Structure 1
């Protein structure tokens, strides 16, 4: 996914109220940008880190700028949780996610389960594959980890994927990692033990779990390689 506008450099001052970030741009001006991430953003939000924002050029928007990426001194990290679904769809179409090839159709945000929408529904004839996509930005002890905060919604999604497997369909939990300074992926048991147990149970019932890392730069974000999953 190539950014459709050149990103603007700045320095993070603070992230607060979940969706707000105060940033000093390189031209010396100060802005409050939209932070498109509802998680804790642990390991992604240190004051003084370099960030880049996109400019909507939309005078009707309350917040003109959107925080897109941050640099921790080692690598760029993509913090926009609106992007992983797009990244996954693009990667499936260009053949980068080997486990999800061979399907003729990709539909997005299809209703399923109990008042839920599946991120991507792949199909060929009568074969269905339900793909739930999660954004990964947390790295601790060299491991990519999810979630970075307790997620009852995430646990519900695992249960709904399990129900689809029991109904005879294929179900995939896909973790899209938007940074490059870890080695392997595992659930963050110390943050949300219920989710970690739920993931193990879902896998035991036939839900497939895969993780892929994306290269993140000021020009584009692109899924490039699989990452080993440890449960």
Structure 2
């Protein structure tokens, strides 16, 4: 995924109300409010003074012209925009980055299933045995080289795990794909101390046959590309 236009650099003042971030732009020193497309806690990724990069919209009707895309943390560039992972995983699946999820005849996104839910990606096979793929963005790192999910309580995530297990019970396949938007992590695990209920739901789903994969990204100010498999340590 390439950014459509050069990103604008700046320094983070604060992130607040979940979806807002104040940033001082490097280009002219002005302070602006940017959209932060990330519903999580962003633990370890909201330190005032951090270097950040924003995309700028030319849409005249848009209230906030800037969107927070990436930041520098622990010496690496980290993708924080959770609007991108589904598209990045689609690119990875199309390119065959996860061999176990290749060979599909069609791919659809945001497909209704289960109890009033939508699956991020549905891989359809001619055999009729489809693969329901749930994508989770990962950018928490508390131990060097180890990415963790989630960074806050996610009841919705636990619900989706149960519904994917139901699809396995109906004869389909289901897979969790964790997208690690930071290149400094080679392994990924669950932050069970942050959300023990999600960790338990994950354990139950895995025992029911839900698959799990983790993939990592190269993050630059030009774009974000899936470039490797990440060891899943759970």
TM-score range, shorter chain: over 0.9
- Structure 2 contact 217–228 (Cα < 8 Å) conserved: yes
Counterpart residue number, 1:229: 232
CA distance in 2, matches of 1:43, 1:183: 18
In the alignment, structure 1 residue 167 sits paired with structure 2 residue 173: no
Distance in 2 separating the partners of 1:140 and 1:72? 11
Partner of residue 131 from structure 2, selected from 129, 132, 151: 129
**Structure 2, unaligned runs of 5 or more:** none
- 1:146 maps to 149
Using the size of structure 1 for normalisation, the TM-score is 0.98
Question: Once the 2 structures are TM-superposed, how far is the Cα of residue 124 of structure 1 from its aligned partner?
Answer: 1.4
Describe the SS at the equivalent of 1:150.
Answer: coil
Aligned match of 2:20: 20
Match of 1:55 in 2: 56
Correspondence for 1:81: 82
State how far apart, in whole Å, the 2-side matches of 1:218 and 1:171 are.
Answer: 33
Across the two proteins, how many residue pairs are aligned to each other?
Answer: 231
Paired with 2:31 and 2:99, the residues of 1 have a C-alpha distance of: 44
2:188–2:233 CA contact under 8 A, matched in 1: yes
Deviation at residue 73 of structure 1 after TM alignment: 4.3
Does 2:77 match 1:111? no
CA shift, 1:74, in A, is 1.2
Task: Return 64-73 or 80-89, whichever deviates more.
Answer: 64-73
CA shift at 1:182, angstroms?
2.3
Gaps in structure 1 of 5+ consecutive residues: none
- Displacement of 1:183: 2.9
Deviation of 1:43 (Å): 1.5
CA RMSD of aligned residues (A): 0.9
1:54 to partner: Cα distance: 0.4
**Whole-Å separation in 1 of the counterparts to 2:182 and 2:87:** 16
- Secondary structure of residue in 2 paired with 1:130: strand
- CA deviations 1:139-183 (Å, max 9, x no partner) are 112321111000000000100110000000000000000002223
- Matched residue, 1:183: 186
Deviation at 1:201, TM superposition (A): 1.1
